[in-house]
Amino acid sequence: MDELGLAYDVISPDIDEKAIREADPEKLVLAIAHAKADAVSAQVKEPSIVIASDQVVVWNGQIREKPVSKEQAREFIKSYGKQPATIINGMVVTNTKTGKRAEGLCAMHIWYNPISDADAASLAEYDGVMDCAGALRSENPAMMQFMSKTDGSFDIARGLPKKLLGKLLQEIK
Residues 6+ apart with CB under 8 A from 86: 57, 58, 59, 107, 108, 109, 110
Our answer to whether residue 54 is catalytic in this structure is yes
Angstrom distance (rounded) from CA 46 to CA 88: 31
- Alpha carbon separation from 147 to 1, 111, 131, 134, 143 (Å, rounded): 25, 6, 20, 15, 7
Catalytic residue, chosen from 54, 117, 119, 131, is 54
- Tell me the catalytic residues: 54
